[in-house]
Amino acid sequence: MAEISDDIFFATIPELNTALKARKFSAVELARAFCDRLEKFGPRYNALALSLREQAVRQAKDVDGDLKRDRFRGSVQGIPYGAKDLLAVAGHPTTWGARPYAGQIFDYDATAIQKLRKAGALLTGKLSMVELAGGGGYRFAAASLQGAGLNPWDRSRWSGGSSSGAGSAVAAGLVTFGLGSETSGSILTPAAYCGVTGLRPTYGLVSRYGAMALSWTMDKIGPMCRSADDCGLVLQAIAGGDSKDPASAGKSFFYAPQYAPKPDQVRIGWSPADFFEAPEESARPAFKQAVEAVRALGVQMVETRLPDLPYGLVTSTVISAEGSAVFEPLIASGQVDQLADQKQIAGLRAGLEIAAKDYLKAMRIRTEIQQAFRKLFAQVDVLVTPARLGPASKLDQPLDAGANRPMPKDQGLRALIPAGNAAGLPALCLPCGFVDGLPVAIQLVSRPLGENLLLSLGRQFQSQTDWHRRRPKV
pLDDT score, position 1 = 59
CA 47 – CA 166 distance, rounded (Å): 7
**Which pLDDT score is estimated for 405?**
87
DSSP-derived pairing of the beta strands 267-270 and 300-303: parallel
Residue 404: pLDDT band with limits 50, 70, 90 = confident
Residues with Cβ within 8 Å of 272's Cβ and at least 6 positions away in sequence, in order, are 303, 412
Selected catalytic residue, list 75, 162, 181, 446: 162
Q: Per-residue pLDDT averaged across 84-103, rounded?
A: 98
Percent of the chain with pLDDT over 90: 97
pLDDT at 184 over 70: yes
Q: Indicate the CATH number of 6-257 among 3.40.190.10, 3.90.1300.10, 2.60.40.420, 2.60.40.10.
A: 3.90.1300.10
Q: What is the mean pLDDT of residues 448-471?
A: 98
pLDDT of residue 392: 98
Contact present, 422 and 412 (Cβ < 8 Å): no
Query: Any catalytic annotation for residue 84?
Result: yes
The predicted-structure confidence for 203-255, as pLDDT tens digits, reads as follows 999 999 999 999 999 999 999 999 999 999 999 999 999 999 999 999 999 99
pLDDT computed for residue 393 by the predictor: 96
84, 115, 126, 220: the active-site residue: 84
Quick: pLDDT tens for 25-62: 999 999 999 999 999 999 999 999 999 999 999 999 99
Cα distances (angstroms) measured from residue 382 to each of 50, 213, 240, 301, 401: 38, 29, 24, 10, 31
The lowest-confidence range among 29-33, 102-106, 409-413, 457-461 is 409-413
Give me the mean pLDDT over the 4-8 stretch: 93
Average pLDDT rounded to a whole number, residues 58-73: 96
179 neighbors 112 (Cβ within 8 angstroms): yes
Domain range summary for the chain, segments of one domain joined by +: 6-257, 269-304+376-469
The H or E element containing residue 125 is strand 122-127
Catalytic pick from 186, 207, 271, 393? 186
The pLDDT tens digits for 295-329 are 999 999 999 999 999 999 999 999 999 999 999 99
pLDDT at 457 over 90: yes
Given a cut of 80, whether residue 3 has pLDDT beyond it is no
SS (H, E, C) 449-469: CCHHHHHHHHHHHHHHCCHHH
